[in-house]
Amino acid sequence: MLKRIIIPFLFVFCLLPIGVQAEGTTDHGMVTDHDISHDSNVSLSGIQTTKSITVKKMKVAAGDQGISVKQLEFVGKLLKNVALPTIKNNINFDGLFTDKINVDLSKVHILLFSNSESYQNALIQAGVPHDSIENIVENSGGITDGTHIWIPLYTYKDRSELTNILTHELTHVVFHQANIEEKLPNWLDEGIAMYNGLQAQKNINHIKTGRILKNIKYKLTTSIKNGESVSFNSTNLLNENYTSEAFYLAATYFLVERMGVSKLNEFTRSVIDSNVEEAFKSTFTITLKEYENKILQAVGQSQQDSYSSNDDDDDDDAEFLPGYRVRW
């Protein structure tokens, strides 16, 4: 059942012989992804495919005649060798694939497009609202409805970028199928998908990923310094400015850098059987709201809600959130 399509704001960049310069790539090295899985009027399931392969039960198919079998196989390799292992490591992948949770990779269909015209036509056919299509085609690195993933392959300059978007979208799909996506606040859903994407990209090109992170950090801090406000309430990132996306990534990065990937894994495991507030508090020993407020304070924004700070220790706060001097 389709709910929302995910067009991840992606960090796009690599070396595939896939072709053309990314239209959606920006000077700060970030590309968009968009989530439309809550839009029941949109269906990504109706496109006829001419070629396909199966990788780890997932179907990887050509969205138009311009996609070769070689390209399908290349994407299949990235999924199998980098995207899946990253997700497995970071978010309790094995635990999500139980009878109880019922995440099934055979339901995952990944469709690749070789040019903007066929991508745009497919979006029209899928029922994506007209006023969103131009933005999606020009600014998004991929979309998903929780089962299907569409990738405009022509926008990727190299395989590290492509690995990033594949991992990002697949994270959304896993969360969606495990019914976790609905529980997570948007910033964590997107933040974890972005985090996983960058971790996967790092495996392909460590130096480039480091540069991207530095650049994102610089742009974010500059925007905030120049008076741009940030919040945890942005829900439509495709139509938001780049700062919201970068802020979500920063908030997630702080958390994982500070607590460790094993805690992220534990959190995902915990959220299956409880609500997000309980899972967050039991895993990270701070409430979700407190964490959000600490991040806002760290960037000089006012708190969104008041909360009791009786248990807080100033020294610990300083250590927990050392401003923007966190390593990316």
Binding residues for Zn ion, per CB under 5 A? 6, 8, 33, 190, 193
In angstroms, give the least distance from the CB of 299 to Zn ion. Answer: 22
C-alpha 31/C-alpha 22 separation (Å) is: 9
Tokens of residue 317, six digits: 């706060």
Contact 136, 143 (CB under 8 A): yes
Amino acid sitting at position 306: S
Tokens of residue 141, six digits: 């690195």
In angstroms, give the least distance from the CB of 28 to Zn ion. Answer: 17
- Secondary structure letter of residue 8 according to DSSP: B
How distant is the alpha carbon of residue 287 from its chain centre? 23
Contact 127, 232 (CB under 8 A): no
39 vs 190, beta carbon nearer Zn ion: 190
58 vs 143, beta carbon nearer Zn ion: 143
65 vs 236, beta carbon nearer Zn ion: 236
33 vs 290, beta carbon nearer Zn ion: 33
Tokens 């896939």: give the residue.
18
In angstroms, give the least distance from the CB of 38 to Zn ion. Answer: 13
In angstroms, give the least distance from the CB of 169 to Zn ion. Answer: 7
In angstroms, give the least distance from the CB of 6 to Zn ion. Answer: 5
In angstroms, give the least distance from the CB of 98 to Zn ion. Answer: 24
**Helices then strands, each counted (H, E), the chain:** 13, 7
6 vs 75, beta carbon nearer Zn ion: 6
249 vs 255, beta carbon nearer Zn ion: 249
Q: Name the closest residue to Zn ion (Cβ).
A: 8
DSSP assignments along 76-128, one per residue: HHHIIIIIHHHHHHHTTHHHHSSTTT---GGG-EEEEESSHHHHHHHHHHHT-
